[in-house]
Structure 1
Amino acid sequence: MDLTSSQKKPEFWISARSRRPEPGVFDCARTAFAWLVTGPHPVALDGRRIRGLPPRPVPLDEVGTTLIAKGCPQETRDAVWTALVTRSRAEGGTWTVACVGLALPVLIPVAAKLTNRFRGEVHDIHAAVLTGFLEALTDVDLTRPAILVRLRWAAYRSGHRALRDALDAAAPVADLGARALGPQDTGGHPDFVLLAAVEAGVLTAAEASLIGDTRFSELPLADAAHARGQTYKATQQARHRAERKLADYLTALREGGATPARRGRTARRMQLQNRPGAEKTRRPVSPSTSNPGVGDRGTRLPARPRPSRSELEPGAVQETSSCD
């Protein structure tokens, strides 16, 4: 059913939706949220309890417009999401739909980013993104800052796992040319690079999250330090160490060098080859040999014994070799 002019879609969806129409679960979430803010009594938050909102009941679509404004303080965003998640956990239903609807401006770009080069069925990956978000609603730490950033990261990880599963699945013969490139071939997007570094054992999940949240999201380093229970300087040094490891990893990949995992396998092979008592399969060339080239090959081999007449078959004619 189309919404009338009095039931128009919330403004904070326009920029996210105009880039790419999203099928499936996000259409359902968008429609469900629109009904929450339709009519004379829309679902609202009590702005008097949240610093940064007007001191009145604030409809959820107006809350969403406030949250995506560039001037909105992080404290206001976290206070709103604390109120939303708390009510979702206590009451479910309406407030869980409210959380999903207000998160669409970050969930839709996550899903689009994961599937923009995937030519298979995207519905399962979009559903995994939403599932990761919903699961994180139940246990995200509301005492730490940047709540939505951490919810988005959980949704991204869930969608990324679904994408990898889809890429690793056996494809029908007729569809062999239609599979997408893996996440490692998606143009080096920061989120993909960080996830690849975690899977390679270069970074821990906490280190990747620290880089992603403070470099590519809007979480200030001071807030990250507070969330980690560290001083600003200690968190800054931790990020610097993580970025150095990431830079070394990317340099090795760019130069065609061995990854840490491959270097580990090479080192283990060398340990096995060099262990005491290991049988040598190659004879080292003597350093005194002045010309170990192919011209000397065969000059020191013993001459092959010439068979006698008795060893020849009856009637066989022995040819005289001119080389001897």
Structure 2
Amino acid sequence: MVRRTPAAAPAVPRPGERLFTDIDYRFRLLGQGPCPLSVDGRRLGQGLPRRAIALPELSAILMHPSCGYPARDAVWRLLVQRARTGDPAWRAGAVGVALPGLRFKAYLLAKLFTGDVQAAIVEHFLRALGTVDLARPGVVGNLLSAAFSKARAELRGLEPASSGAPNHAAGSVLPPAPFGHPDLVLTRAVDAGVISVQEAELIGATYLEEVGLTAYAERTGQPRWNLYKRRTAAVARLTAAIESGELSDLYADVITEATATVVLDTPTARKRP
């Protein structure tokens, strides 16, 4: 007689776990039909295709390593301006274009908290659309960093008292950003224990999102020199892991190039005690 193993009960989705899936689905719909939500590449310039670009295609273009920071800033200034008109379609469109970055930020938050990280990061991203300074470079980086900081503070306040160890609840891992996006390397590095969640956020913000180390220090309330030392050590471990093949990926050279070629902020002289 063959003893059958009872089928496991289906996992109960966590609150808001499908939010990004729903956003992505609706975002794709915005780019379809005879009049898709789009921007004019001719007016934006910066090497973008000289035609109407539907927002889903625009998101893919902005994620490609060949897309420079001036193009990203030009696009994001336009998206923020249109979102500030209050048009629901453009607010939804801005969230959709930023979805790969939002996924990564939510992934980091899910390593630390058990709350509804997707809802928290989206809510604070929408708020940041109304307050971000468009005169500063790195518009999308500033948006994502502001949303991350605010969501982290909110989730920390809702988290029950614990031992202080990071939480990684079952089912909290988010679908990865599209293959080839540099944030995937940071995600794998966190999973492999090469760098911490905080170090991944620091590297992602100051290298990939073009947020200056001074601005990051002011935003997080941490000493700039300490951040500089932490980032230098984390980048060294990350580079060694990539070179050893520990984080093997066809696009790992994107991170290597970013951390090797971006000009570091000149460290301030260390004060003697």
Question: TM class by shorter-chain length?
Answer: 0.5 to 0.7
Q: Tell me if structure 2 keeps the 8 A contact 1:126–1:159.
A: no
Displacement of 1:28 in angstroms is: 2.6
Which whole-Å CA distance do the structure 1 matches of 2:91 and 2:54 have between them? 15
Amino acid in structure 2 at the alignment position of 1:65: A
Query: Equivalents in 2 of 1:88, 1:66: separation in Å?
Result: 20
- Alpha-carbon distance, 1:212 to partner: 6.4
Deviation above 4 Å: which 4+ runs of structure 1? 186-191, 244-248
Q: Is the Cα contact below 8 Å between 1:194 and 1:212 reproduced in 2?
A: yes
Q: What does residue 59 of structure 1 align with?
A: 54
Counterpart of 1:219 (choices 210, 215, 224) is 210
User: Which whole-Å CA distance do the structure 2 matches of 1:25 and 1:42 have between them?
Assistant: 22
Structure 1 residues 24 and 194 mapped into 2: Cα distance closer, same or farther (>3 Å)? closer
Question: How far off its partner does 1:97 sit?
Answer: 0.5
Q: Deviations over 1:48-72 (max 9, x none)?
A: 1111222211111111111001010
The amino acid of 2:119's aligned partner reads A
Percent identity over the alignment? 33
User: Which of 80, 84, 87 is the matching residue for 1:85?
Assistant: 80
Q: Aligned partners of 2:44 and 2:60: how far apart in 1?
A: 15
Decide whether the 8 Å contact of 1:106 with 1:152 is kept in 2: yes
1:243 pairs with one of 225, 241, 247: 225
Code of the residue aligned with 1:111 in structure 2: it is A
- Could you tell me how far 1:165 is from its partner in structure 2? 2.1
Q: Which residue of 1 aligns with 2:31?
A: 37
Q: Please give the alpha-carbon distance, in whole angstroms, between the structure 1 residues aligned to 2:150 and 2:85.
A: 24
Is the Cα–Cα contact under 8 Å of residues 111 and 159 in structure 1 kept in the other structure? no
Offset of 1:247 from its aligned partner?
4.4
Alignment of 1:224-235 (within 5 A): none
Matched residue, 1:136: 128
Taking a change above 3 Å as real, the CA distance of residues 44 and 75 of structure 1, as seen in their structure-2 partners, is same
Contact 2:40 2:51 in 1 (8 A): yes
Q: Distance in 2 between matches of 1:129 and 1:170?
A: 22
CA deviation after TM superposition for structure 1 residue 145, in Å: 0.8
Structure 1 counterpart of 2:198: 192
- TM-score, with normalisation over the residues of structure 2? 0.58
One-letter code aligned to 1:70: P
Q: Deviations over 1:146-183 (max 9, x none)?
A: 1010111012112212331233x358xxxxxxx88248
Unaligned runs of 5+ in 2: 1-15, 168-189, 217-222, 234-273
Instruction: Report the secondary structure of 2:33's partner residue.
Output: coil
When residues 245 and 107 of structure 1 are mapped into structure 2, their CA distance, relative to the original with a 3 A threshold, is closer
Checking the alignment, whether the CA contact within 8 Å between 1:87 and 1:95 is kept in structure 2 is yes
Structure with higher Rg: it is 1
1:200-219 equivalences under 5 Å are 213-214=205-206, 216-219=207-210
Residue matched to 1:101:
96
Q: Which residue of 1 aligns with 2:19?
A: 25
| Cα offsets for 1:250-270 (capped at 9, x unmatched) | x9xxxxxxxxxxxxxxxxxxx
Q: Residues 96 and 135 (structure 1 numbering): CA distance in 2 closer, same or farther, change over 3 Å?
A: same
Please give the alpha-carbon distance, in whole angstroms, between the structure 2 residues aligned to 1:165 and 1:112.
Answer: 18
- TM-score normalized with structure 1 length: 0.49
Q: Is the 8 A contact 1:146 1:219 kept in 2?
A: yes
Q: Distance in 1 between matches of 2:20 and 2:97?
A: 12
The answer (yes or no) to whether the contact 1:50–1:80 under 8 Å persists in 2 is yes
Q: Which has the higher relative contact order, 1 or 2, with Cα contacts under 8 A spaced 6 or more apart?
A: 2
